[in-house]
Amino acid sequence: MSETWIVLGASSSMGRAFARKVAAEGAHVVLAAREKDDLARTAADCTSRGAPSATPVVFDARDPKSFAPIYKAAKKNEGIINAAVFVGSMAPQADVDADPNIGDFTIQDNFTGPANFLHGLAPIMESRKGGTVLGIGSVAGDRGRIGNYTYGSAKAGFHTYLSGLRNRLNRSGGHVVTVKPGFVDTAMTWGIEGMFLVASPDQIADDLWKAHLKKKNTLYTPWFWRYIMAIIKSIPEPIFKKLSV
Amino acid sequence: MAWKTDTLTGWGRVLSGSAQIARPEKPSAIARVVADTPAPAVGAQRSYGDPAINTDGKAIDMNRLDRFISFDAKTGVLEAEAGVSITQMLQTFAPQGWMPTVMPGTGFATLGGCIANDAHGKNHHGVGTFGQYVISIELIGADGKTKTVTPKKNKTLFEATVGGLGQTGIIISAKIQLTECSSRLIQVDERRATNLSEFMDMLKSSTATYCVGWIDGTANGQSLGRGILEEAELTKSNMAPKLRKSRKVPFNAPSFALSPPTVRAFNRMYFNRVPATGRGVLRSLEDFFFPLDKIHDWNKLYGKRGFHQFQCVLPDDTAERTLREMLRLIADSGLASPLAVLKRTGPGRAGPLSFTMEGFTLALDFPNSAKSIKLVETLNEMTTEAGGRIYFAKDSLATAKQAHAMYPELAAWQKTVKTADPKGHFKTDLVRRLKLRDSK
């Protein structure tokens, strides 16, 4: 029987790449994104590639009312329900410094919004006895750095939530992967200077699929970010506080 | 839209140029960019020379517009965004019994690129070019407006777009007719051809659906023009093929990798690998249609100097004489690489700037050097004199005068292009080099 994948943030480069990956694996897809205009086309792409069904739904991390239609669309399909969460926003730290209220949005988009969505989904997954959550965090959540610590702390909060959810879903046969991507070649990073070792969204999608199959707990993608972050995490705080890495 | 400054490089790695590049991911985003800043589209960068280079200008990268829009499994009609690659189409639809009717030698080429170059494949003698299977094109003009272009509704614009090197606007999506595909395995019969006239007779009399020849560019004298003829037919097997793993050329190869003695030895081995009595082998569609795609960045095998590809098509009445002279010149120079193709072409073509004509096409790679530039220049001149044509997707050395002589319908094409893009926003380095939009 076909499984179902909810892809939250399906119009992002990574969300799109992952949606077509699971479509080619024969899964039903529920595609959720803030703007509906282009989602229908991504849905058509998924059915061409092998998804038995593809349902576009509008989702706004800041609007809890938008969650229920997604649960409903997923529940229509029988069998296991999985979710991949690609939502998030990265306001430049300088903007947050200028207007601290922007920090709230960053935390809603990256942490409380997706966490609350998953919290509503968890009982449904439990009732279906299985399923994987791929939660996209960030290497930025591993340590607070001067360049983006509001974003980083939101991601860190999300990491902790995912770790708890893993503990919970494990009891009903489910699983959670905390994903920490490094730099990815997306519309968001296009043309930004200082990018290095940039991975393609397709590469990330392949890694995510493998991590789902292997039931990894934490995935750094591409893999070498585990070591880059190990170094950054190991710098003693008295030194780290003077650095701008 | 964010613009990124980057280098656009031809596949031959001789020509390149810096440009500011936008990479929209939605049709609405691209319409906005073009309305504001019309610029030529670039795809997979698999053209060898400069048709996808716009030095010190702007360009729009189409690779992220790569979704299938609709597919009818009964009729085989596919609509897709321009950045979809041929391999993506083949791998997605072959298991459902369909494949692109025309496939160029690399599956990395995009739908938009295949239309803009009116690409041909190993079945050209039978079915014609890529453009002949295009049902309609969504084209954004220099005014930022999108229109549907079909051979019925706006014939002149359609024909000027197919093979039109992106000069009529940006192809954002297209509807094409796929062809039935009975299997993902293909039966390939390989036979030796011991000299040029034997080779040409074999190519001409072949009745195979797919037919292509590898030619030994180092053979001279009695064996001048020897090679291997490959004739192929799809099988009826419904088994999934075993795919070879892809590999990557990690760095620029040293120049001795393709020095004349290495190439001579390699070519002798490659020729003798097929027994004198011929042989039949079973291959996956990918291995047969895109033999080099498994070696990523194979263009680095030529080292950092890069290479030139010469591809001409010659009409039947001059083909044998001209090919003989060309091959003699090439063999005497000792400059050829092992990558060389001789193929029969049919009359099929879809636009005034389409490359193909009925006759024979010869394609050869030469490592870049002063000597090889001179050789290709001579070959280009011989092609012009023989009433043949050079393929814009491969060329980096032809002259404006030659291009104008080879493409007699250029003036009519220019008229359509002038209306579509009066200010010349879509011009590229190739268009400027060959003065394709100037009267002479």
ipTM of the complex: 0.90
Q: Enumerate the residues of chain A whose CB falls inside 8 A of the CB of residue B67.
A: 16, 41-42, 44-45
A193 shares contact with chain B (CB less than 8 Å): no
pLDDT in tens, B302-354: 988 999 999 999 999 999 999 999 999 999 999 988 889 999 999 999 999 99
Query: Which of A12, A14, A45, A185 to substitute to test the interface with B, most B CBs within 10 Å?
Result: A45
A15 inside 8 A of chain B by CB: no
Under 8 Å CB pairs connecting chains A and B tally to 43
Question: With an 8 Å Cβ cutoff, are B92 and A190 in contact?
Answer: no
* Class of the CATH domain delimited by A4-240: alpha beta
Q: Do B26 and A11 touch (CB under 8 A)?
A: yes
Which residues does chain A have within 8 Å of residue B61's beta carbon, measured at their own beta carbons? none
**A171: exposed, middle or buried (Cβ count in 10 Å: 0-12, 13-18, 19+):** exposed
Please check the confidence at residue A91 and state whether its pLDDT lies above 90: no
The residue of B6, B25, B28, B60 whose CB has the most chain A CBs within 10 angstroms, and thus the best one to mutate to test that interface, is B25
Q: What is the mean pLDDT of residues B72-84?
A: 97
Residue B193 has pLDDT above 70, yes or no: yes
What is the largest distance, in Å, between two alpha-carbon atoms of chain A?
55
Identify residue A237 by its one-letter amino acid code.
E
pLDDT (tens digit per residue) in B386-406? 999 999 999 999 999 999 999
Higher pLDDT, A59 or B243: A59
- Please answer yes or no on whether A44 and B67 come within 8 Å at the CB atom: yes
What is the distance between the alpha carbons of residues B219 and B232, in angstroms, rounded to a whole number?
25
What is the band of A195 on the pLDDT scale with cuts at 50, 70, 90?
Answer: confident
Kindly indicate the confidence band of residue B258, based on its pLDDT and cuts at 50, 70 and 90.
Answer: confident
Question: Beta B389-390 vs B307-315: how paired, if at all?
Answer: antiparallel
Q: Does A36 touch chain B (CB under 8 A)?
A: no
pLDDT for residue A1 = 65
Which residues in chain B are closer than 8 Å to A50, comparing Cβ atoms? 92
Task: Enumerate the domain spans of chain A.
Answer: 4-240
Q: The tokens of A108 are what?
A: 């809603």
Of the candidates A13, A50, A191, the beta carbon closest to that of B25 is on A13
Which positions in chain A touch B31 (Cβ < 8 Å)? none
- Residue B434's pLDDT band (cuts 50, 70, 90): very high
Taking residues B130-148, what's their average pLDDT? 96
**Looking at beta carbons, which residues of chain B come within 8 Å of A45?**
67-69
Nearest-neighbour CA in chain A from B175: distance (Å): 14
